[in-house]
Amino acid sequence: MSIPEKHSFQAEIQQLLDIVIHSLYTDREIFVRELISNAADACEKLRFLQASGQAIVDPDAPLLIQVKTDEKEGTVRFIDSGIGMSREDLVENLGTIAHSGTKAFLKGLAEEKRADAKLIGQFGVGFYAAFMVAEQVTVESRPHQPDGVACRWVSQGTTGYELEASSRPQRGTEIALKLKSDAATYAQESTLEAIIRRYSAFVPIPIELNGKRLNTVQALWTRNRSEIKEDEYNEFYQFLGHDHQPALLRLHFTADAPLAIQSLLFVPQTNFESMGLGRMESEVNLYCRKVLIQSKAKHLFPDWLRFLRGVVDSEDLPLNISRETMQDSSLMQRLNKALTGRFLKMLEETAEKDPETYRKFYGEYSRFLKEGVVTDAAHKQGLGKLLRYESSALDAGVHTSLADYVKRMPADQKEIYCLLATSRESGLSSPFYEVFAARKFEVLLLQDPWDEFVVEHLDRFDDKPLRLAEKADLDLSDKPSSGLSDEQAGALARWMKETLGEKVNEVRLSKRLLDSPVLAVDSNKYMTASMRRMLRSAKRDAGGLEASKSDFEFNPAHVLLAQLDALRQKDAALAGKVAEQLFDNARIAAGLLEDPREMLKRSNQLLTELLAAKQA
C-alpha cells in the first residue's frame, strides 16, 4: 500500500467549484448526464485510437458504460472501458477546472487534421457536477497504454485531492460517488434509470444499470437519410412521440452552416388540441451530440409550431450550460430561425408534390398556421403561401392557394377579395357577392371565423392587398336601368335617413347591388360584423364595446324601392315601417342586427296589415 499524496486544487478552484456546485446547473440530476458523457467520450477516444492502429491494453474488452448503485451504502459508480487516465492525466484533467482534456485531445486531432471523432465535452467543468451530490468522489483509472499504471484520485471537493497507486487491472475509469445525505435518492436504481433514459437514451456506447441495458434505440437523426428504412422512422417516432399511429409528416434534415444542425421532426396524424385536450406543448427535445440538453425545449420553435415532435441536435451548443442561459441565448434564436424556415419549406414542397397529404395536414393544423400569421410577423408571408380557401371560381370543396388565385386575376383586378361567410352557399348568395359576380372577379370564401384576423394581419400577398368583400370599393361597371330618376332616388334617400333617424349612420345609393334591394355595412371602416361579435363575446363582462352603427345602401333599380317611393306619397306611416324593416333585413343579412325583438314585432304588424289589405 502506497501512502496517499496530498495535492491542493489550483488557486481559483475553490471559487469555480462553488459556482459549478451552486449555480451553474439548475438540476442536480444532470451530474449523471455529465459523468456518462465523459465515459462515452472516453470510449469514443479509445475507439479512435484503436482504429488508428495504436497498441491498447485488453484490445478485446468491449466498449461499455456500467452504472452501479448501492442504496445501503449510499453510493453510485460509473465504470467505463474507455481511454482511462494516467496519474498525470488525473492531475491535469481533474485538478484543474476549466481545463478540458477533451479540448486538448480535439486540438491534438485537429493538428493531425483528423478531427472526426465525435466528442461531447468541451467546456471542462462537467466532472465537477458530481460534487453537487457527493461528499466524496473517488476516481480510479487504468490508462489504455499497455504499460500504463493505475492510479486513484480522491476528493471531497473542498481544498484539494489525494493521489495514490491503485491495483485496478482493467482498462478504463471507475468513478465512485459517496452521496451526501440529502442526495440519497441517486443511489436508487429507479431514480437513476429514469435519469439515464431521459438524458442519455441515445448515447452510442451501451449503458448498463446494475447489469440491465438501458439505451437500445439509435440516434436515428444522426444517420444518413438514404440508409434509413420507413419502419425505422416509424419505430423511432413511436418511441419518441408516444403515439400509436405513424406520423403524418416527417422532416429529417442536416445543415452545416450557419449552424450545425441535425434534426428529425414529426407532425402527428391528429391535432391533439382539437380533441379538447388543452394546449399542446412542444415535444421537440434539444440534444448536443446525442446527449439531451433540454427536453420539450422552449423557444426552439415559434409557439404556433407547438404540435411538432422530435429531436434537434446541434454540435454548436455548449453541453454544460444550464437551462436558463440556453433560453435567451442568441444561439437559440438562430436555431429557431433556421428550423422554422426549413419546416415551412417542407410544407410548401409537400403541398406541391403530395397534395393529398397536405390536405390532411391542413385539415388538422390550419388553425396553427393562422395563429402564426397573426402572431409571428417574421413568418406571416411564408405562412400566407400555405393557406387554402374555397373560391367562387372553383367547385365546392376545392381549395386554392393565394398564389394560384393571383395567377387567375384579370389585369384590371388589383386586390385579392375575401368574403367572410358561414358557408359557401351563404357567401355566394350574399348581397356583397353581387358586384363580384357582375364584374367576374373571383372571391375567396372564408368560412373560419379566424380568417378575418388572418386577412387583417397578412394584409397583402405577393404585393396585392387582401380586401374583405364588404369593404371593397367596387362599382358595377354598367349602371342598371332604374325605375327612379336620380332626383327621385336622392329624395328617397333623404327621406329614409329622416325616417330611420339615429339608427342609421348614412343612407346612400348603392353602386354594387344588382339583384338585392338593400345592404348594410358597419360604419367603422375597420370593423366587420364577425369581429364585432367576437369582441362582444370577449368583452361581455366588461360591457365596454360602443354600439354598432351601420351604413345603409339601397338599390334604386330594384322594383321594391320604386314601390316604396310611391307608397310614401300615399301612406307615409306604412312606408316608414317598410323602410325600417328593409334596414333591419339588411342588417340581419350582414350579421349586424344585435337585438331582433323590435324587428319581429314590426314584421308581425306588417303581415297583419298585408293580410287585412288582401281580404278587403
Shortest reach from residue 125's CB to ligand ADP, in Å: 5
- Cα dist. 245→132, 269, 270, 549 in Å? 41, 7, 9, 52
Place of cell 322594383: 559
The contact pattern for ligand ADP, residues 135-174, with x = CB under 6 A and - = no contact, is --------------------------------------x-
Residues with Cβ within 8 Å of residue 238, at least 6 apart in sequence: 244, 246
- Whether 161 and 131 have beta carbons less than 8 Å apart is answered as no
CA distance 23 to 534: 47
CA distance 463 to 330: 32
User: Is 126 one of the binding residues for Mg ion (CB under 5 A)?
Assistant: yes
Nearer to ligand ADP (CB atom), residue 319 or residue 521 = 319
Shortest reach from residue 83's CB to ligand ADP, in Å: 5
Residue 93 contact, options Mg ion, ligand ADP, none, Cβ 5-8 Å cut-off depending on partner type: ligand ADP
Could you tell me the three cell numbers for 296?
420539450
**Which stretch in 78-86, 158-166, 310-318, 330-338 sits in contact with ligand ADP by CB under 6 A?**
78-86
Cβ atoms within 10 Å, residue 387: 22
Shortest reach from residue 222's CB to ligand ADP, in Å: 19
Number of residues that bind Mg ion (CB under 5 A): 3
User: Is 126 one of the binding residues for ligand ADP (CB under 6 A)?
Assistant: yes
Q: Within 13 Å, how many C-alpha atoms sit on residue 207's CB side?
A: 31
The amino acid present at 311, given as its one-letter code, is V
CA distance 65 to 48: 17
Among 24, 25, 35, 38, binds Mg ion (CB under 5 A): 38
CA distance 106 to 112: 10
Shortest reach from residue 101's CB to ligand ADP, in Å: 2
Nearer to ligand ADP (CB atom), residue 75 or residue 366 = 75
CA distance 597 to 604: 11
Q: Is 556 helix (H, G, I), strand (E, B) or coil?
A: coil
User: Is 127 one of the binding residues for ligand ADP (CB under 6 A)?
Assistant: yes
Nearer to ligand ADP (CB atom), residue 66 or residue 530 = 66
CA distance 495 to 27: 77
Nearer to ligand ADP (CB atom), residue 177 or residue 586 = 177
User: Is 85 one of the binding residues for ligand ADP (CB under 6 A)?
Assistant: yes
Residue 83 contact, options Mg ion, ligand ADP, none, Cβ 5-8 Å cut-off depending on partner type: ligand ADP
User: Is 101 one of the binding residues for Mg ion (CB under 5 A)?
Assistant: no
Nearer to ligand ADP (CB atom), residue 100 or residue 550 = 100
User: Is 82 one of the binding residues for ligand ADP (CB under 6 A)?
Assistant: yes
Q: Within 13 Å, how many C-alpha atoms sit on residue 491's CB side?
A: 11
The contact pattern for ligand ADP, residues 90-119, with x = CB under 6 A and - = no contact, is ---xx-----xxx-----------------
Could you tell me the three cell numbers for 316?
454548436
Shortest reach from residue 418's CB to ligand ADP, in Å: 56
Residue 124 contact, options ligand ADP, Mg ion, none, Cβ 5-8 Å cut-off depending on partner type: ligand ADP
Residues 10-39 that bind ligand ADP (CB under 6 A): 34, 38-39
- Cis check for the bond before 258: say yes or no (omega within 30 of 0): yes
Q: Which of 56, 82, 62, 85 is nearest to 145 (CA)?
A: 56
The contact pattern for ligand ADP, residues 408-447, with x = CB under 6 A and - = no contact, is ----------------------------------------
Among 29, 44, 80, 313, binds ligand ADP (CB under 6 A): 80
Could you tell me the three cell numbers for 247?
406520423
- Strands across the sheet with 309-313, in order? 249-255, 261-267, 309-313, 283-288, 291-294
Q: Enumerate binding residues for ligand ADP (CB under 6 A).
A: 34, 38-39, 42, 80, 82-83, 85, 93-94, 100-102, 121-127, 173
